[in-house]
Structure 1
Amino acid sequence: MATEQFNDQNSIEPVQNTTQLNKSTLLISAIALSVISVCGLVGNMIVLILFPKIRPKKPNFAKIHFQLLWHVALASLFNCTLAVPMLILDVLLEEDQHYIPCIIYKITTVGCTSVVCFCFTMLAFERLLAADFIKRLHYYARSHEKRFNNNRFILAALWICTWSIQSISLARMHYPSHYLPCYHIVNVRNHKINQTILAIVRKLDIASIIWENFHFWIAAVTTILSFILVTRKISTHISSAASLHLQDNDKFAKMTSKMRKVGFTLVVIFLISFTPLTIIELDDLCGRERHPDIRLITMALTDISSAINPIIYFVMYQRFRQAIKALLTSFMNSCFGRK
């Protein structure tokens, strides 16, 4: 009997220690995530508003291409700072020590996805906001630059809304409800208040999962619409294809059709990547149980698609490189103006 009691005590102690570690780690990480989230928001505003101030009189594609890559790299760096602490926290709260090497894989996939998604979202919003400029491609004045900067404030506001929605439910998405700091602030004896808080948190869970998975689709659909809108405007109002560094308008038409294929391919990739994970997480929240084989297949499909996404992006860029250059050049010409 003494031996059994001793074994029982030994088996209970690690669980209690782990719970205390989880609570303390969560409180520390919540503060760190809040600070990093604010830094990420400020960084995005700096990148979106203050950085692209260089306005060459005659657009040079090499300089524009470098500025765009630098712009996306800086913004993606701030975006990754929001994801890395969350991944490290997952490792700290994970009991299996073999899980630690997965942090390299997660940071890599999150970084690649952040770069690509931010690039396409940025271009999509800016093209939609600057679509009316394309009509006046040859009649630009300095007043248009002020108007374009105002559009950048609108774009920054959209990103602030995006990160605010994600920050509200960032900590709650990965931890049980009894680890929430707000749950411990309220008196535990007040059952109604606790249930109200848990109900609100549960709704935030569903909203965060839907937003986290579907805002990529919104970005992809917006990209397709902007491709169609901008390419039609450009083909209508540009009389010469010399500004696109192309030989004829037929070649430009082929390029734009390829870019539309890129947009539709992105939608398919996002669909394959995020739909299974969304279904599983919503099932867990709603208390539905599916067959273990179905869950295993969906999780495997999500992991496989996440692993091959960077390869697909690289292949797509290599294949449609000329089309991307053509559209970027035409877009920069319309933004910077030509006299």
Structure 2
Amino acid sequence: GAPGAWSSVRVLPAAPAAPDRFRFCHFGDSGVTAPAGWVRDGVMTVQPDFVIIAGDLSYADGDQPVWDEWFQQMQPLMATVPVMASPGNHENKDANGRGYLSRTTHFEPPGARGWYSFDYGRMHFVASTGGAFAADLRLPAEILWLEQDLARAALRRAAGEIDFIVFFNHFTIWTDQEGRSPNDPLLVVLLEQILLRYGVDLVVVGHDHIYQRSHKMAYGRPAENGYVQITQGAGGKSMRGFDPISEWSASAERRYSFCEYDVEPERVMLRTWAVDDTANERAGGLELIDELSIGLRNLVFRNRAAASPRGSAELLPDIEAIRRNTLARNRRDCPADGHTHR
């Protein structure tokens, strides 16, 4: 703020110590467009306990006043509920994430650098950079941390302390949009193998400017013991189309929208709400375009997923190749001339 320009003082209520039931929302790829305002208003309508933004928040791309514009647009939401976030490829364009990292007190725990975890009720959340900031050479540390964190979470789930594990970052693991990032098969395979080893229930992502939900899947195919990927990149920036839709896809919509998750003991209800009509013009209210109920994994699966964490020798033999590929991806997606906007 500055003289005459300070915002109003707002107070967010503390969460209950151990809520049995709660609601959170998720979207990505926001920007400062009119549809981003529609999504913000829609999220406020359902009154969640907190919000996850899966990367590409402001699209400032190095132009720092755009961050101010984005925060002004998001202020009605962020002044009422906590917002947790993960960085995307456009955050990387701010000097390898400095624009985002200088503002993480708004949406990350103290000391986080784009990767962190937290519990809410009986659900464990794990945030990752997906390699967005690979140039800062912390990717090996993040991968080892992810392995340790998910191993502890899986053990706690087997012991009955939590019910679900949610992984979120910007990038999709699998996509039906040809040519889209991550485009680093080694990193995708490594991350997915970790998620499957510890039985992650939900993979919550953005990046593709559409809505798409998978069946339970593993390695690009439907699998009963796999995870459900929720791609929600329809947060307002722009809208993209689909390439031929794969067999793992259960729902696909080209609508500006957000996801609402109602969480109760042993069950999660997903509802996806469009804020526009089929021509992507603003609608008069919310339209339900998808829903899914997800139950607690069976005891055999939970016990099997409570595996011991592995060390760097087993996890990181290809780390130099992963680092090179991921750096090349980041430079390709956000080149210095600023002409690529994905």
Shorter-chain TM-score: which interval? under 0.3
How high is the TM-score relative to the length of structure 1?
Answer: 0.24
How high is the TM-score relative to the length of structure 2?
Answer: 0.24
Relative to its length, the structure with more helix (as a share) is 1
Relative to its length, the structure with more strand (as a share) is 2
Q: Which has the higher contact order (CA 8 A, sep 6+)?
A: 1
